A and B are shown apart, each in its own frame.
Chain A
Amino acid sequence: MKIFRFLIIPILVLFSNTSASHAEVFGIKLNNQSDTDTNTFVSPFKEDNERCFKCHGQSKYEYTNETLGRQVKELMYSERIVKRELYYNSNHKKFSCTDCHSAEYLKFPHAGELRMEQKYNCIDCHGGDEKFAQYHFEEIDAEYQKSIHFKLEGEGFSCWKCHDPHSYKISVRNQDNLKETIAYDNAICLNCHSNFDHFQLLTDKEEISLIQKHDWLPNQATHFKSVRCIECHTKINDSIKISHLILPKEEAVKRCNECHSQNSILMASLYKFESKAQRRDGFFNGIILNESYVIGANRNEYLNLLSLIIFVGVAGVIGIHILLRIREKNKTY
Protein backbone atom coordinates (compact mmCIF):
# COMPACT_ATOMS: atom_id res chain seq x y z
CA MET A 1 0.00 0.00 0.00
CA LYS A 2 3.06 2.21 0.01
CA ILE A 3 2.28 3.10 -3.56
CA PHE A 4 -0.72 5.18 -2.47
CA ARG A 5 1.51 7.43 -0.39
CA PHE A 6 3.33 8.40 -3.57
CA LEU A 7 0.11 8.90 -5.48
CA ILE A 8 -0.95 11.69 -3.14
CA ILE A 9 1.92 13.90 -4.38
CA PRO A 10 0.68 14.36 -7.96
CA ILE A 11 -2.86 14.76 -6.61
CA LEU A 12 -1.73 17.64 -4.39
CA VAL A 13 0.13 19.26 -7.30
CA LEU A 14 -2.94 18.84 -9.46
CA PHE A 15 -5.26 20.55 -7.04
CA SER A 16 -2.86 23.17 -5.74
CA ASN A 17 -4.05 25.83 -8.16
CA THR A 18 -7.76 25.08 -7.91
CA SER A 19 -9.06 28.18 -6.22
CA ALA A 20 -7.15 30.61 -8.40
CA SER A 21 -8.20 28.88 -11.60
CA HIS A 22 -11.87 28.81 -10.70
CA ALA A 23 -11.87 32.52 -10.03
CA GLU A 24 -10.46 33.13 -13.48
CA VAL A 25 -13.18 31.23 -15.30
CA PHE A 26 -15.46 33.84 -16.80
CA GLY A 27 -13.29 36.36 -14.96
CA ILE A 28 -13.92 39.15 -17.38
CA LYS A 29 -12.76 42.36 -15.80
CA LEU A 30 -13.22 45.05 -18.39
CA ASN A 31 -12.52 47.83 -15.94
CA ASN A 32 -9.51 46.20 -14.40
CA GLN A 33 -7.13 46.67 -17.30
CA SER A 34 -3.89 48.21 -16.17
CA ASP A 35 -4.67 51.57 -14.64
CA THR A 36 -1.04 52.54 -14.21
CA ASP A 37 -1.19 55.12 -17.00
CA THR A 38 -3.92 57.00 -15.18
CA ASN A 39 -1.47 58.05 -12.53
CA THR A 40 1.19 59.32 -14.90
CA PHE A 41 -0.79 60.77 -17.80
CA VAL A 42 -2.02 64.34 -17.43
CA SER A 43 -4.23 65.55 -20.24
CA PRO A 44 -3.55 69.04 -21.59
CA PHE A 45 -7.35 69.36 -21.64
CA LYS A 46 -7.87 68.12 -18.11
CA GLU A 47 -9.47 71.31 -16.88
CA ASP A 48 -11.61 71.72 -20.00
CA ASN A 49 -12.76 68.12 -19.82
CA GLU A 50 -13.59 68.47 -16.16
CA ARG A 51 -16.47 70.74 -17.14
CA CYS A 52 -18.03 67.64 -18.75
CA PHE A 53 -16.84 65.09 -16.20
CA LYS A 54 -18.33 67.17 -13.42
CA CYS A 55 -21.71 65.77 -14.42
CA HIS A 56 -20.83 62.87 -16.75
CA GLY A 57 -17.97 61.43 -14.72
CA GLN A 58 -20.15 59.64 -12.20
CA SER A 59 -23.72 58.52 -11.62
CA LYS A 60 -24.82 61.64 -9.70
CA TYR A 61 -24.83 65.24 -10.87
CA GLU A 62 -25.99 68.54 -9.42
CA TYR A 63 -27.20 71.74 -10.99
CA THR A 64 -28.94 74.92 -9.97
CA ASN A 65 -32.54 74.87 -11.05
CA GLU A 66 -33.26 78.53 -11.61
CA THR A 67 -37.01 77.99 -11.87
CA LEU A 68 -37.10 76.32 -8.47
CA GLY A 69 -34.32 78.49 -7.17
CA ARG A 70 -32.37 75.65 -5.55
CA GLN A 71 -29.71 72.99 -6.09
CA VAL A 72 -31.06 69.76 -7.58
CA LYS A 73 -29.37 66.34 -7.45
CA GLU A 74 -30.13 63.87 -10.25
CA LEU A 75 -28.93 60.46 -11.38
CA MET A 76 -26.94 60.46 -14.62
CA TYR A 77 -28.32 58.14 -17.32
CA SER A 78 -25.85 55.22 -17.22
CA GLU A 79 -25.14 55.32 -20.96
CA ARG A 80 -23.98 58.91 -20.62
CA ILE A 81 -21.44 58.24 -17.89
CA VAL A 82 -17.77 58.39 -18.88
CA LYS A 83 -15.41 57.23 -16.14
CA ARG A 84 -12.36 59.48 -15.87
CA GLU A 85 -9.95 56.65 -15.10
CA LEU A 86 -11.09 54.66 -18.12
CA TYR A 87 -11.01 57.67 -20.42
CA TYR A 88 -7.53 58.79 -19.36
CA ASN A 89 -6.32 55.23 -19.84
CA SER A 90 -7.89 54.83 -23.27
CA ASN A 91 -6.44 55.33 -26.73
CA HIS A 92 -8.26 58.67 -27.06
CA LYS A 93 -7.08 60.08 -23.75
CA LYS A 94 -5.24 63.00 -25.34
CA PHE A 95 -8.37 64.53 -26.80
CA SER A 96 -10.58 67.23 -25.50
CA CYS A 97 -14.26 66.27 -25.25
CA THR A 98 -15.10 69.06 -27.68
CA ASP A 99 -12.70 67.67 -30.30
CA CYS A 100 -15.40 65.15 -31.11
CA HIS A 101 -18.51 66.67 -29.52
CA SER A 102 -20.03 70.05 -30.32
CA ALA A 103 -18.74 73.00 -28.27
CA GLU A 104 -22.41 73.83 -27.78
CA TYR A 105 -22.40 71.11 -25.11
CA LEU A 106 -20.54 73.52 -22.87
CA LYS A 107 -23.84 75.29 -22.34
CA PHE A 108 -26.19 73.87 -19.73
CA PRO A 109 -28.93 72.80 -20.04
CA HIS A 110 -27.79 71.21 -23.35
CA ALA A 111 -29.86 72.08 -26.40
CA GLY A 112 -32.14 69.18 -27.33
CA GLU A 113 -31.08 69.05 -30.98
CA LEU A 114 -27.45 68.35 -29.96
CA ARG A 115 -28.47 64.77 -29.27
CA MET A 116 -29.04 64.38 -33.02
CA GLU A 117 -25.46 65.42 -33.87
CA GLN A 118 -23.65 63.29 -36.40
CA LYS A 119 -21.07 61.13 -34.62
CA TYR A 120 -17.70 60.36 -36.13
CA ASN A 121 -16.76 56.83 -37.12
CA CYS A 122 -13.26 55.36 -36.81
CA ILE A 123 -12.56 55.81 -40.49
CA ASP A 124 -13.48 59.55 -40.35
CA CYS A 125 -10.31 60.26 -38.39
CA HIS A 126 -8.14 57.21 -39.01
CA GLY A 127 -8.83 56.66 -42.72
CA GLY A 128 -6.34 57.85 -45.34
CA ASP A 129 -3.85 58.97 -42.71
CA GLU A 130 -0.29 57.72 -43.08
CA LYS A 131 0.19 57.95 -39.34
CA PHE A 132 -2.30 55.12 -38.92
CA ALA A 133 -1.37 53.23 -42.12
CA GLN A 134 0.14 50.34 -40.13
CA TYR A 135 -3.29 49.61 -38.62
CA HIS A 136 -4.96 49.24 -42.06
CA PHE A 137 -8.14 51.04 -41.02
CA GLU A 138 -9.37 51.09 -44.62
CA GLU A 139 -9.10 47.31 -44.80
CA ILE A 140 -10.77 46.97 -41.41
CA ASP A 141 -13.61 49.14 -42.72
CA ALA A 142 -13.88 47.03 -45.89
CA GLU A 143 -14.04 43.86 -43.77
CA TYR A 144 -16.60 45.39 -41.46
CA GLN A 145 -18.78 46.24 -44.43
CA LYS A 146 -18.80 42.55 -45.39
CA SER A 147 -19.51 41.40 -41.85
CA ILE A 148 -22.81 40.36 -40.35
CA HIS A 149 -22.68 43.39 -38.05
CA PHE A 150 -22.72 45.84 -40.96
CA LYS A 151 -26.23 44.69 -41.86
CA LEU A 152 -27.36 46.18 -38.56
CA GLU A 153 -26.11 49.68 -39.41
CA GLY A 154 -29.69 50.73 -40.13
CA GLU A 155 -30.54 49.70 -36.60
CA GLY A 156 -27.79 51.86 -35.20
CA PHE A 157 -24.76 49.58 -35.29
CA SER A 158 -21.42 51.34 -35.63
CA CYS A 159 -17.76 50.95 -34.66
CA TRP A 160 -18.67 52.35 -31.23
CA LYS A 161 -20.88 49.39 -30.35
CA CYS A 162 -17.70 47.35 -29.90
CA HIS A 163 -15.07 50.02 -29.44
CA ASP A 164 -16.34 52.62 -26.97
CA PRO A 165 -14.27 55.69 -27.93
CA HIS A 166 -14.26 56.83 -24.29
CA SER A 167 -12.68 53.68 -22.91
CA TYR A 168 -11.34 51.52 -25.74
CA LYS A 169 -7.73 50.57 -25.38
CA ILE A 170 -5.79 48.40 -27.77
CA SER A 171 -4.88 45.35 -25.76
CA VAL A 172 -1.26 44.69 -26.50
CA ARG A 173 -0.90 40.98 -26.65
CA ASN A 174 2.11 39.30 -25.15
CA GLN A 175 2.85 36.23 -23.10
CA ASP A 176 2.23 38.09 -19.86
CA ASN A 177 -1.25 39.33 -20.55
CA LEU A 178 -2.74 36.92 -23.06
CA LYS A 179 -5.50 35.74 -20.73
CA GLU A 180 -6.33 39.37 -19.89
CA THR A 181 -6.48 40.25 -23.57
CA ILE A 182 -8.78 37.32 -24.24
CA ALA A 183 -11.09 38.38 -21.39
CA TYR A 184 -11.03 42.03 -22.52
CA ASP A 185 -11.78 41.17 -26.15
CA ASN A 186 -14.54 38.71 -25.26
CA ALA A 187 -16.15 41.27 -22.96
CA ILE A 188 -16.64 43.47 -26.04
CA CYS A 189 -18.81 40.76 -27.63
CA LEU A 190 -20.57 39.91 -24.38
CA ASN A 191 -21.49 43.56 -23.89
CA CYS A 192 -24.31 42.98 -26.39
CA HIS A 193 -24.55 39.21 -26.77
CA SER A 194 -25.01 38.53 -23.09
CA ASN A 195 -26.64 41.82 -22.14
CA PHE A 196 -30.19 41.89 -23.41
CA ASP A 197 -30.58 45.63 -22.66
CA HIS A 198 -27.95 46.32 -25.31
CA PHE A 199 -28.86 43.42 -27.59
CA GLN A 200 -32.49 44.50 -28.01
CA LEU A 201 -31.43 47.90 -29.29
CA LEU A 202 -30.15 46.24 -32.45
CA THR A 203 -32.51 43.34 -33.04
CA ASP A 204 -36.01 42.12 -32.30
CA LYS A 205 -34.70 38.61 -31.64
CA GLU A 206 -35.41 36.96 -28.33
CA GLU A 207 -32.74 36.85 -25.65
CA ILE A 208 -30.13 34.19 -26.32
CA SER A 209 -28.13 32.14 -23.87
CA LEU A 210 -24.53 31.90 -25.01
CA ILE A 211 -23.92 29.06 -22.56
CA GLN A 212 -26.75 27.04 -24.10
CA LYS A 213 -25.79 27.96 -27.68
CA HIS A 214 -22.30 26.63 -26.98
CA ASP A 215 -23.51 23.47 -25.26
CA TRP A 216 -21.83 21.36 -27.90
CA LEU A 217 -18.41 22.73 -26.95
CA PRO A 218 -16.56 20.42 -24.54
CA ASN A 219 -14.88 22.15 -21.59
CA GLN A 220 -16.82 25.31 -22.39
CA ALA A 221 -15.43 27.41 -19.55
CA THR A 222 -11.85 26.57 -20.51
CA HIS A 223 -12.49 27.44 -24.14
CA PHE A 224 -14.08 30.79 -23.20
CA LYS A 225 -11.08 31.57 -21.02
CA SER A 226 -8.46 30.44 -23.50
CA VAL A 227 -9.66 31.76 -26.85
CA ARG A 228 -11.52 34.80 -28.09
CA CYS A 229 -15.01 34.66 -29.63
CA ILE A 230 -13.50 36.00 -32.86
CA GLU A 231 -11.27 32.92 -33.24
CA CYS A 232 -14.31 30.99 -34.45
CA HIS A 233 -16.67 33.79 -35.46
CA THR A 234 -14.50 35.72 -37.94
CA LYS A 235 -12.82 34.94 -41.22
CA ILE A 236 -9.05 35.05 -40.85
CA ASN A 237 -7.31 37.83 -42.76
CA ASP A 238 -3.54 37.69 -42.91
CA SER A 239 -2.99 41.35 -43.68
CA ILE A 240 -4.74 42.93 -40.70
CA LYS A 241 -4.08 42.36 -37.05
CA ILE A 242 -7.61 41.51 -35.97
CA SER A 243 -10.16 40.16 -38.39
CA HIS A 244 -13.32 42.32 -38.48
CA LEU A 245 -15.30 40.11 -40.82
CA ILE A 246 -17.76 38.69 -38.32
CA LEU A 247 -19.41 35.66 -39.89
CA PRO A 248 -23.05 34.62 -39.70
CA LYS A 249 -23.42 32.02 -36.95
CA GLU A 250 -23.91 29.21 -39.51
CA GLU A 251 -20.41 29.88 -40.85
CA ALA A 252 -18.64 29.92 -37.49
CA VAL A 253 -15.91 27.35 -36.92
CA LYS A 254 -17.41 24.25 -35.39
CA ARG A 255 -14.96 21.54 -36.40
CA CYS A 256 -12.63 20.82 -33.49
CA ASN A 257 -9.85 19.98 -35.95
CA GLU A 258 -9.61 23.59 -37.13
CA CYS A 259 -7.78 24.39 -33.91
CA HIS A 260 -6.91 20.92 -32.62
CA SER A 261 -4.49 20.00 -35.38
CA GLN A 262 -0.90 20.37 -36.41
CA ASN A 263 -1.85 23.28 -38.69
CA SER A 264 -4.12 24.91 -36.13
CA ILE A 265 -5.94 28.11 -37.16
CA LEU A 266 -5.01 29.56 -33.76
CA MET A 267 -1.55 30.17 -35.18
CA ALA A 268 -3.11 32.55 -37.71
CA SER A 269 -5.38 34.26 -35.22
CA LEU A 270 -4.76 34.36 -31.46
CA TYR A 271 -1.08 33.42 -31.74
CA LYS A 272 -0.49 35.22 -35.03
CA PHE A 273 2.13 37.62 -33.68
CA GLU A 274 3.83 35.10 -31.49
CA SER A 275 4.02 32.34 -34.06
CA LYS A 276 7.19 33.76 -35.60
CA ALA A 277 9.02 33.12 -32.34
CA GLN A 278 10.44 29.64 -32.55
CA ARG A 279 10.77 27.02 -29.90
CA ARG A 280 13.37 24.34 -30.38
CA ASP A 281 11.98 21.60 -28.24
CA GLY A 282 10.15 19.79 -31.01
CA PHE A 283 6.62 20.86 -30.12
CA PHE A 284 4.36 21.70 -33.02
CA ASN A 285 2.86 25.18 -32.57
CA GLY A 286 5.00 25.35 -29.43
CA ILE A 287 4.32 29.01 -28.78
CA ILE A 288 0.82 28.06 -27.58
CA LEU A 289 2.42 26.11 -24.75
CA ASN A 290 3.63 29.24 -22.97
CA GLU A 291 0.04 30.08 -22.13
CA SER A 292 -2.12 27.12 -22.86
CA TYR A 293 -2.23 23.63 -24.33
CA VAL A 294 -4.25 22.45 -27.30
CA ILE A 295 -4.76 18.72 -27.76
CA GLY A 296 -3.70 17.68 -31.25
CA ALA A 297 -1.92 20.96 -31.97
CA ASN A 298 0.92 20.59 -29.50
CA ARG A 299 2.28 17.14 -30.17
CA ASN A 300 6.01 16.73 -30.05
CA GLU A 301 7.95 15.42 -33.01
CA TYR A 302 10.71 13.86 -30.87
CA LEU A 303 8.20 11.99 -28.73
CA ASN A 304 6.39 10.89 -31.91
CA LEU A 305 9.66 9.48 -33.25
CA LEU A 306 10.60 7.86 -29.95
CA SER A 307 7.21 6.17 -29.62
CA LEU A 308 7.46 4.92 -33.19
CA ILE A 309 10.93 3.47 -32.53
CA ILE A 310 9.72 1.74 -29.32
CA PHE A 311 6.65 0.38 -31.10
CA VAL A 312 8.65 -0.95 -34.06
CA GLY A 313 11.26 -2.37 -31.66
CA VAL A 314 8.65 -4.26 -29.61
CA ALA A 315 6.86 -5.47 -32.74
CA GLY A 316 10.26 -6.62 -34.09
CA VAL A 317 11.09 -8.58 -30.91
CA ILE A 318 7.65 -10.22 -31.00
CA GLY A 319 8.16 -11.04 -34.69
CA ILE A 320 11.56 -12.65 -34.02
CA HIS A 321 10.08 -14.59 -31.07
CA ILE A 322 7.30 -15.91 -33.31
CA LEU A 323 9.85 -16.99 -35.95
CA LEU A 324 11.95 -18.78 -33.30
CA ARG A 325 8.83 -20.54 -31.99
CA ILE A 326 7.90 -21.67 -35.50
CA ARG A 327 11.46 -22.96 -36.04
CA GLU A 328 11.38 -24.78 -32.70
CA LYS A 329 8.01 -26.32 -33.53
CA ASN A 330 9.27 -27.52 -36.93
CA LYS A 331 12.33 -29.05 -35.26
CA THR A 332 10.15 -30.95 -32.78
CA TYR A 333 7.94 -32.54 -35.41
Chain B
Amino acid sequence: MYLYPKWIRLWHVINAVLFLILIITGISMQYTDKENASYIVGFAKAIKYHNYAAIILTINFIIFVTGNLLTKNGRYYKISKENFLNELITQLKYYSFGMFKGEKHPFPVTEDRKFNPLQKLTYVLALYVAVPLLIISGVGLLFPEITVSKFFGVSGLIYTDILHISMGFFLSIFMLIHIYTCTLGAKPTSLFWGMISGYHRDDEHHS
Protein backbone atom coordinates (compact mmCIF):
# COMPACT_ATOMS: atom_id res chain seq x y z
CA MET B 1 0.00 0.00 0.00
CA TYR B 2 1.56 3.31 -1.14
CA LEU B 3 1.03 5.55 1.90
CA TYR B 4 3.88 8.00 2.05
CA PRO B 5 4.20 10.25 -1.03
CA LYS B 6 7.58 11.66 -1.94
CA TRP B 7 6.99 15.12 -0.49
CA ILE B 8 6.00 13.64 2.88
CA ARG B 9 9.07 11.41 2.94
CA LEU B 10 11.33 14.33 2.02
CA TRP B 11 9.69 16.56 4.64
CA HIS B 12 10.04 13.77 7.19
CA VAL B 13 13.72 13.11 6.63
CA ILE B 14 14.57 16.83 6.65
CA ASN B 15 12.57 17.22 9.87
CA ALA B 16 14.37 14.27 11.47
CA VAL B 17 17.84 15.62 10.68
CA LEU B 18 16.89 19.13 11.83
CA PHE B 19 15.41 17.76 15.06
CA LEU B 20 18.68 16.00 15.85
CA ILE B 21 20.72 19.15 15.14
CA LEU B 22 18.33 21.28 17.20
CA ILE B 23 18.34 18.88 20.15
CA ILE B 24 22.15 18.61 20.25
CA THR B 25 22.74 22.35 19.82
CA GLY B 26 19.87 23.19 22.18
CA ILE B 27 21.32 21.05 24.97
CA SER B 28 24.74 22.61 24.27
CA MET B 29 23.33 26.10 24.82
CA GLN B 30 21.20 25.25 27.83
CA TYR B 31 23.90 23.39 29.74
CA THR B 32 26.95 25.57 29.12
CA ASP B 33 29.78 25.65 31.53
CA LYS B 34 32.38 28.40 31.95
CA GLU B 35 35.33 26.06 32.23
CA ASN B 36 34.22 23.55 29.64
CA ALA B 37 33.52 25.64 26.55
CA SER B 38 32.79 22.74 24.24
CA TYR B 39 29.93 20.99 25.98
CA ILE B 40 28.87 18.75 23.05
CA VAL B 41 29.09 21.75 20.67
CA GLY B 42 30.72 25.07 21.64
CA PHE B 43 28.22 27.80 22.57
CA ALA B 44 28.96 30.10 19.62
CA LYS B 45 28.71 27.25 17.09
CA ALA B 46 25.63 25.87 18.83
CA ILE B 47 23.87 29.25 18.50
CA LYS B 48 24.74 29.50 14.82
CA TYR B 49 23.71 25.96 13.86
CA HIS B 50 20.60 26.14 16.05
CA ASN B 51 19.46 29.34 14.34
CA TYR B 52 20.07 28.05 10.83
CA ALA B 53 18.40 24.70 11.57
CA ALA B 54 15.44 26.48 13.18
CA ILE B 55 14.88 28.69 10.14
CA ILE B 56 14.93 25.66 7.83
CA LEU B 57 12.60 23.80 10.23
CA THR B 58 10.16 26.70 10.15
CA ILE B 59 10.13 26.72 6.34
CA ASN B 60 9.78 22.94 6.36
CA PHE B 61 6.85 23.23 8.77
CA ILE B 62 5.12 25.79 6.55
CA ILE B 63 5.56 23.40 3.61
CA PHE B 64 4.08 20.57 5.71
CA VAL B 65 1.01 22.59 6.75
CA THR B 66 0.51 23.89 3.21
CA GLY B 67 0.88 20.35 1.84
CA ASN B 68 -1.71 19.09 4.30
CA LEU B 69 -4.12 21.85 3.28
CA LEU B 70 -3.64 21.26 -0.43
CA THR B 71 -3.44 17.46 -0.54
CA LYS B 72 -5.47 14.66 0.98
CA ASN B 73 -2.74 14.01 3.54
CA GLY B 74 -4.36 16.48 5.94
CA ARG B 75 -7.35 14.20 6.50
CA TYR B 76 -5.24 11.67 8.41
CA TYR B 77 -4.83 14.21 11.24
CA LYS B 78 -8.55 14.89 11.73
CA ILE B 79 -9.75 13.62 15.07
CA SER B 80 -13.44 12.68 15.24
CA LYS B 81 -15.02 13.50 18.55
CA GLU B 82 -17.12 10.37 18.70
CA ASN B 83 -15.58 7.49 20.55
CA PHE B 84 -12.09 8.95 20.28
CA LEU B 85 -11.32 8.41 23.96
CA ASN B 86 -12.47 4.81 23.83
CA GLU B 87 -10.42 4.19 20.70
CA LEU B 88 -7.43 5.73 22.37
CA ILE B 89 -7.81 3.43 25.38
CA THR B 90 -8.18 0.43 23.07
CA GLN B 91 -4.93 1.34 21.33
CA LEU B 92 -3.13 1.88 24.64
CA LYS B 93 -4.40 -1.47 25.93
CA TYR B 94 -3.10 -3.11 22.77
CA TYR B 95 0.39 -1.64 23.22
CA SER B 96 0.39 -2.50 26.94
CA PHE B 97 -1.11 -6.00 26.93
CA GLY B 98 -2.78 -7.10 23.66
CA MET B 99 0.33 -7.23 21.53
CA PHE B 100 1.96 -9.56 24.06
CA LYS B 101 -1.01 -11.91 23.87
CA GLY B 102 -0.85 -12.13 20.09
CA GLU B 103 -3.98 -10.01 19.59
CA LYS B 104 -4.57 -8.37 16.20
CA HIS B 105 -3.95 -4.66 15.79
CA PRO B 106 -7.24 -2.88 16.70
CA PHE B 107 -6.80 -0.20 14.00
CA PRO B 108 -5.06 -1.74 11.00
CA VAL B 109 -3.62 0.68 8.43
CA THR B 110 -5.86 1.44 5.45
CA GLU B 111 -5.69 4.10 2.78
CA ASP B 112 -8.24 6.10 4.79
CA ARG B 113 -6.62 5.48 8.15
CA LYS B 114 -2.86 5.92 8.13
CA PHE B 115 -2.61 6.53 11.87
CA ASN B 116 -4.03 4.75 14.88
CA PRO B 117 -5.81 6.96 17.50
CA LEU B 118 -2.71 7.26 19.68
CA GLN B 119 -0.63 8.30 16.69
CA LYS B 120 -3.26 10.84 15.64
CA LEU B 121 -3.32 12.46 19.06
CA THR B 122 0.44 12.61 19.51
CA TYR B 123 1.05 13.81 15.95
CA VAL B 124 -1.59 16.53 16.24
CA LEU B 125 -0.20 17.63 19.63
CA ALA B 126 3.37 17.56 18.33
CA LEU B 127 2.85 19.11 14.90
CA TYR B 128 -0.08 21.46 15.45
CA VAL B 129 0.56 22.53 19.04
CA ALA B 130 4.15 21.94 20.16
CA VAL B 131 5.95 22.85 16.92
CA PRO B 132 4.03 26.14 16.39
CA LEU B 133 4.67 27.12 20.03
CA LEU B 134 8.31 26.13 19.60
CA ILE B 135 8.59 28.28 16.47
CA ILE B 136 6.81 31.30 17.99
CA SER B 137 8.91 31.22 21.16
CA GLY B 138 12.00 30.60 19.02
CA VAL B 139 11.28 33.75 17.01
CA GLY B 140 10.97 35.60 20.33
CA LEU B 141 14.42 34.38 21.37
CA LEU B 142 15.98 34.95 17.96
CA PHE B 143 14.76 38.55 18.02
CA PRO B 144 14.74 39.36 21.77
CA GLU B 145 14.01 43.01 21.04
CA ILE B 146 10.47 42.10 19.90
CA THR B 147 9.72 40.06 23.02
CA VAL B 148 7.79 41.54 25.93
CA SER B 149 10.50 43.13 28.04
CA LYS B 150 8.87 42.67 31.43
CA PHE B 151 5.99 40.61 32.70
CA PHE B 152 5.10 40.51 36.42
CA GLY B 153 8.47 42.03 37.29
CA VAL B 154 10.48 39.42 35.44
CA SER B 155 12.03 39.58 31.99
CA GLY B 156 9.56 38.36 29.35
CA LEU B 157 12.38 36.38 27.80
CA ILE B 158 12.34 33.85 30.63
CA TYR B 159 8.71 32.91 29.91
CA THR B 160 9.53 32.70 26.21
CA ASP B 161 12.53 30.53 26.96
CA ILE B 162 10.70 28.22 29.36
CA LEU B 163 7.99 27.73 26.73
CA HIS B 164 10.71 27.09 24.12
CA ILE B 165 12.75 24.60 26.12
CA SER B 166 9.61 22.84 27.40
CA MET B 167 8.30 22.35 23.87
CA GLY B 168 11.80 21.35 22.73
CA PHE B 169 12.00 18.84 25.56
CA PHE B 170 8.55 17.34 24.91
CA LEU B 171 9.30 17.07 21.19
CA SER B 172 12.58 15.34 22.03
CA ILE B 173 10.67 12.86 24.18
CA PHE B 174 8.13 12.52 21.34
CA MET B 175 10.99 11.75 18.96
CA LEU B 176 12.35 9.09 21.32
CA ILE B 177 8.94 7.39 21.62
CA HIS B 178 8.29 7.86 17.89
CA ILE B 179 11.53 6.11 16.96
CA TYR B 180 10.82 3.30 19.41
CA THR B 181 7.25 2.71 18.25
CA CYS B 182 8.59 2.54 14.69
CA THR B 183 10.27 -0.71 15.70
CA LEU B 184 6.83 -2.24 16.35
CA GLY B 185 6.37 -3.38 12.74
CA ALA B 186 6.51 -6.99 11.53
CA LYS B 187 10.25 -6.70 11.87
CA PRO B 188 11.86 -3.94 13.92
CA THR B 189 13.14 -2.31 10.72
CA SER B 190 10.07 -2.69 8.44
CA LEU B 191 8.39 0.60 9.30
CA PHE B 192 11.65 2.51 8.77
CA TRP B 193 11.92 0.95 5.29
CA GLY B 194 8.27 1.91 4.66
CA MET B 195 9.12 5.54 5.34
CA ILE B 196 12.01 5.29 2.87
CA SER B 197 10.20 3.42 0.06
CA GLY B 198 6.76 4.93 0.62
CA TYR B 199 5.02 1.51 0.78
CA HIS B 200 3.36 0.09 3.87
CA ARG B 201 2.95 -3.66 4.12
CA ASP B 202 -0.38 -4.92 5.48
CA ASP B 203 1.01 -7.66 7.67
CA GLU B 204 2.71 -5.16 9.92
CA HIS B 205 1.87 -3.41 13.13
CA HIS B 206 2.45 0.27 12.85
CA SER B 207 3.81 3.03 14.98
Contacts and interface: CB of A to CB of B under 8 A. Distances in A.
A214 B145 CA distance: 18
Contacts of A96: none
Interface string A301-333: 001000100110011001001001101100010
A291 interface: yes
A314 B33 contact: no
A256 B43 contact: yes
Given A20-B149, A256-B47, A296 B176 contact: no
Given A289-B155, A324-B100, A314 B176 contact: yes
Contact of A22 (B47, B100, B145, B165): B145
Contact of A298 (B128, B149, B158): B158
B136 A7 contact: yes
Interface residues of B, number: 49
| A interface SS class | helix
A21 to B, nearest CB: 5
B177 A291 contact: no
A311 B27 CA distance: 14
Nearest to B34: A261
B30 interface: yes
Contacts, number: 125
Given A3-B129, A17-B156, A324-B100, A257 B145 contact: no
B32 A296 contact: yes
A295 B30 contact: yes
22 contacts: A11-B136, A14-B140, A14-B148, A218-B47, A222-B144, A222-B145, A225-B145, A256-B43, A256-B47, A260-B29, A262-B32, A290-B154, A292-B155, A292-B157, A293-B157, A296-B43, A307-B169, A314-B176, A315-B176, A318-B176, A327-B100, A332-B102
Interface of B: 29-34, 36-37, 42-44, 47-48, 51, 95, 99-100, 102, 128-129, 132-133, 136-137, 139-141, 144-149, 153-158, 160-162, 165-166, 169, 173, 176-177, 180
Interface of A: 3, 7, 10-11, 13-18, 20-22, 25, 216, 218-219, 221-222, 225, 255-258, 260-265, 283, 289-293, 295-300, 303, 307, 310-311, 314-315, 318, 321, 324-325, 327-328, 332
